[in-house]
Structure 1
Amino acid sequence: MNKPVLLLLPGLLCDGANWAPQCRALADLADCRVAAYGALDSIEAMATHVLSTAPPGAFSLAGHSMGGRVALEVLRRAPERVERLALLDTGFQALPEGAAGEQERAARLDLLSLARAFGMRAMGEPWARGMVHPACVGTPVFETILEMIARSTPQIFEAQIRALLGRPDASELLPQIVCPTLLLCGREDRWSPPERHQSMHAMMPTSRLQIVEASGHMTTLEQPQAVSQGLAAWMGASLIETGSVAQGPA
């Protein structure tokens, strides 16, 4: 029997390493596939690419950070193909108007200038410190995050910044989502804090909210077991310590 497809959408400057622990943990449960965006520079183009490269038929869909915004756009375009939706450490609103929006734009462009001048890893070291729980800094997990950032390029960074600055607003979409939905967030996420996910939860009648303790923004790597357990439950199964899967009700 073929396993159900689970599409995993990485965040800003992330690649397959973003989801590697979950791919291992859920291998018996799902056909896990991690998307790549190349140099696409809009959330809409990324969603189109995800749909055009996905296998035929329906799939479960999980997005982390920027990938969550892409996942929402995928669902907006093809709701009949999304069996389940998981949104991790993400948001749903467009770039705010006025000073707040200009401040975000300036901060992102400052990081891009740093990457162009000194390289991706040099930019990533101070940036990543704000993305993780303080206890994660200096650990092998933190090194994994830096290596992932370093594999990218300033050109890709610029394209993804354009995508985020031009991100669509999903406020009207959230109440229309009827598929089983998991909202997951690190307790110490300063980029996409729990309060934002609580607001999303209140707008989404079929959602379940999971807050992951001792984690910042990079939950999939900081607390991989908790995230994998949450995703397994969302897919109607449970994980045991060996990593194998016990089937439960869908």
Structure 2
Amino acid sequence: MCDARAFLPQMVQLGADHACQIILPSGEETVERLSEVVLANAPAKFVAIGHGLGGDVVMDVLRRAPERVLRVVLISTDPLAEPPKTAAAREARIVAAKSGRLVQAAAEDYPDMAFAATEWRDEVRALVADMVLQLGEGVYIRQSRAAQRRPDQSKTLRRALMPALILAGAEDGLVPVRRQEFLAGLLPYGRLQVIPDAGNLPMLEQPEAVTAALRKFLSGPLMLRPARR
């Protein structure tokens, strides 16, 4: 439930050297339909960067059109389908949002365990709440449905033959580092970078570290040897 402000620090710092385009996963209820929207609006060749549900959409872009993706960055992304227990808990939050308790529902999506214990955690949390309110109930419900129905993309990732960077917050309680390490291991050219003092939103919690990681990755070679395991 984030808008373009989630990547604002990176857009400001990298925009001078790279053409940046934000495509929000907001108009459809499945990852597959959302990836269709991305491919219809993206350039012929592009670098795909996704966070959370956006990462799920990026993985489906790789399934559909890997030849169009030059590099890929996945942040706080889980490559597996949502477990039934998690999907059931999400259903309760959808009901809450429909009942006028959108902020409460979104707060349950991002509990304390989602954030690193930094001095600006409350500021990041407040920004997330504002982004939720600006996007509204309809977007929240559609994104929640898409998350519930996301497919297992393990096979897709094993066939993705482009440079890949996985960024994980060291203190992410929603998508733990171990799960993102598993994701990186699926990618033939995948590399995991753990961001210290960050949780599920490292772009906002540690913007300078994320920007530096992206800048280094974007300037790296396109032809690589498979990552050592």
Please report the TM-score for the alignment, with normalisation by the length of structure 2: 0.90
Q: Is the 8 A contact 1:128 1:146 kept in 2?
A: no
Match of 2:39 in 1: 51
In structure 2, C-alpha distance between the alignment counterparts of 1:126 and 1:104, rounded to whole Å:
12
Match of 2:24 in 1: 36
The one-character-per-residue Cα deviations of 1:59-112 (angstroms, maximum 9, x if unpaired) are: 11100011111001111111111000000000111233xxxx1x2122111222
In structure 1, C-alpha distance between the alignment counterparts of 2:81 and 2:158, rounded to whole Å:
17
Match of 2:147 in 1: 164
Q: Give the counterpart letter for 2:62 in structure 1.
A: L
- Where structure 1 has 5 or more consecutive residues not aligned to the other structure, the ranges are 1-12, 237-247
Which of 90, 97, 102 does residue 120 from structure 1 map onto? 102
Superposed displacement of residue 119, structure 1: 3.3
Q: Is the 8 A contact 1:124 1:150 kept in 2?
A: no
Q: Is the 8 A contact 2:26 2:143 kept in 1?
A: no
Which of 134, 147, 153 does residue 151 from structure 1 map onto? 134
Match of 1:206 in 2: 189
In structure 2, C-alpha distance between the alignment counterparts of 1:249 and 1:235, rounded to whole Å:
8
Following TM superposition, where does structure 1 have runs of at least 4 consecutive aligned residues deviating by more than 4 angstroms?
none
Calculate the aligned-residue CA RMSD, in Å.
1.8
Match of 1:233 in 2: 216
Which of 137, 142, 153 does residue 125 from structure 2 map onto? 142
Matching of residue 18 in structure 1 with residue 18 in structure 2: no
Q: Is the 8 A contact 1:136 1:222 kept in 2?
A: no
Superposed displacement of residue 155, structure 1: 2.1
In structure 1, C-alpha distance between the alignment counterparts of 2:196 and 2:92, rounded to whole Å:
31
Superposed displacement of residue 162, structure 1: 1.5
Superposed displacement of residue 138, structure 1: 5.5
Matching of residue 72 in structure 1 with residue 59 in structure 2: yes
Superposed displacement of residue 121, structure 1: 2.4
Matching of residue 81 in structure 1 with residue 68 in structure 2: yes
Q: Give the counterpart letter for 2:40 in structure 1.
A: S
Q: Give the counterpart letter for 1:24 in structure 2.
A: V
Q: Is the 8 A contact 2:6 2:203 kept in 1?
A: yes
In structure 2, C-alpha distance between the alignment counterparts of 1:165 and 1:181, rounded to whole Å:
25
Aligned-partner SS, 2:21: strand
- Where structure 2 has 5 or more consecutive residues not aligned to the other structure, the ranges are 223-229
Q: Is the 8 A contact 2:25 2:57 kept in 1?
A: no
Q: Give the counterpart letter for 2:65 in structure 1.
A: A
Aligned-partner SS, 2:135: coil
Superposed displacement of residue 149, structure 1: 1.3
Q: Is the 8 A contact 1:85 1:181 kept in 2?
A: yes
Shift in CA distance, 138/172, structure 1 to aligned 2, threshold 3 Å? closer
Q: Give the counterpart letter for 1:172 in structure 2.
A: K
Superposed displacement of residue 146, structure 1: 1.3
In structure 1, C-alpha distance between the alignment counterparts of 2:137 and 2:56, rounded to whole Å:
21
Choose between structure 1 and 2: higher helix proportion. 2
Match of 1:104 in 2: 86
In structure 1, C-alpha distance between the alignment counterparts of 2:120 and 2:16, rounded to whole Å:
32
In structure 2, C-alpha distance between the alignment counterparts of 1:40 and 1:142, rounded to whole Å:
25
Query: How many residue pairs end up in the alignment?
Result: 221
Choose between structure 1 and 2: higher strand proportion. 1
Shift in CA distance, 136/151, structure 1 to aligned 2, threshold 3 Å? farther
Q: Give the counterpart letter for 2:49 in structure 1.
A: A
Bigger shift: residues 143-152 or 220-229: 143-152
The one-character-per-residue Cα deviations of 1:147-186 (angstroms, maximum 9, x if unpaired) are: 1111122222221122111111111111211111000100
The one-character-per-residue Cα deviations of 1:196-227 (angstroms, maximum 9, x if unpaired) are: 11112222221111001111101111111111
Match of 1:10 in 2: none
